[in-house]
């Protein structure tokens, strides 16, 4: 067992450009803490050495949502007229964290923007604006109240996420104007909205836990059994990772 009672979960922050402040919604840390994890905020300092040293001390990574969009130049596209704000500091930090996650096989839970940047990090592409690029789309920006379930998702048989939901469908909230277009390497789609847009992905490799969802389980988790199950499994995987790190032989 890890010498720490709780696995350490790194959560990348956001940047408020107007005030030059790093910040993060309280709900991510609260959901992680309630599931038994120890939240650790990662400032947006896009330096490889800093990120490597930071991630080396963590047992899991949560990539949260953002009020920005991934720069389309990172996946070979020109900016669409409806592209939102792009924060290079956010993109670069999250991508550096994902490089460390891949190399170390650290458990990863990616939410909304986190799912999108995960996909881009593996060579995938994004729909830059659902409303103008996906004619059959349902409403994916529900507004307030933010924790309300606004549509359902269909879950892939035998997927991890279906096990957590204990059903082939689940109700979710929705706060995004972008979506996955082509999937990146080592990612499979495991949930879809009724309009066909991908709502969740998993990494099929057996030596790691990687789960990304397009909705926001950190909102309303107190009343949502499915959301609590997602956080509980992620933190449990981080605990297993921590134990393996403690018992791994050292050489030197």
Q: Is 245 a domain residue? A: no
Q: Is 1 a domain residue? A: no
List pLDDT tens digits, range 162-220.
999 999 999 999 999 999 999 999 999 999 999 999 999 999 999 999 999 999 999 99
Q: Is 176 a domain residue? A: yes
Q: Is 3 a domain residue? A: no
Q: Is 142 a domain residue? A: yes
Q: What is the pTM of this model?
A: 0.95
Q: Is 173 a domain residue? A: yes
List pLDDT tens digits, range 28-69.
999 999 999 999 999 999 999 999 999 999 999 999 999 999
Q: Is 162 a domain residue? A: yes
Q: Is 248 a domain residue? A: no
How much is the pLDDT for 48? 98
Which active-site residues does the annotation give?
112, 216, 218
Please say if the pLDDT value at position 228 is more than 50: yes
CA atoms within 13 Å, Cβ hemisphere of 19 = 5
Q: How many domains does the chain have?
A: 1
How much is the pLDDT for 4? 53
- CATH number, domain with residue 136: 3.40.50.880
List pLDDT tens digits, range 116-142.
999 999 999 999 999 999 999 999 999
Contact yes or no for 67/14 (Cβ under 8 A): yes
CA 104 to chain CA mean position, Å: 17
Which residues, 6 or more positions from 240, have their beta carbon under 8 angstroms from its beta carbon? none
List pLDDT tens digits, range 81-98.
999 999 999 999 999 999
Please say if the pLDDT value at position 242 is more than 60: yes
How far apart (Å, rounded) are the C-alpha atoms in residues 248 and 252? 13
Give residue 225's domain range.
8-240
CA atoms within 13 Å, Cβ hemisphere of 117 = 32
């Amino acid at each position: 067992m890890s010498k720490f009672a709780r696995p350490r979960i790194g959560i990348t922050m956001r940047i408020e450009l107007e005030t030059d402040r790093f910040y993060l919604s309280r709900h991510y840390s609260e959901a992680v803490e309630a599931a038994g994890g120890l939240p650790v905020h990662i400032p947006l300092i896009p330096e490889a050495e800093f990120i490597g040293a930071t991630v080396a001390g963590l047992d899991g990574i949560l990539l949260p949502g953002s009020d920005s969009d991934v720069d389309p130049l990172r996946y070979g596209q020109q900016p669409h007229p409806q592209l939102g704000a792009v924060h290079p500091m956010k993109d670069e930090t999250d991508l550096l964290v994902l490089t460390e996650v891949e190399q170390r096989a650290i458990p990863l839970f990616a939410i909304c923007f986190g799912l999108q940047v995960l996909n881009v990090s593996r060579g995938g592409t994004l729909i830059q604006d659902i409303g103008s690029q996906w004619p059959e789309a349902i409403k994916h920006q529900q507004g307030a109240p933010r924790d309300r379930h606004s549509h359902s998702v269909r879950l892939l048989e035998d997927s991890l996420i279906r096990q957590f939901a204990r059903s082939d469908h689940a109700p979710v909230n929705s706060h995004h104007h972008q979506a996955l277009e082509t999937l990146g390497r080592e990612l499979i789609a495991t949930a879809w909205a009724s309009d066909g847009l991908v709502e969740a992905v998993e990494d099929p490799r057996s030596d790691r836990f990687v789960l990304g969802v397009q909705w926001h389980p950190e909102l309303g988790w107190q009343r949502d059994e499915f959301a609590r199950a997602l956080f509980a499994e992620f933190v449990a995987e981080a605990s297993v990772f921590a134990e393996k790190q403690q018992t791994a032989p050292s050489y030197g």
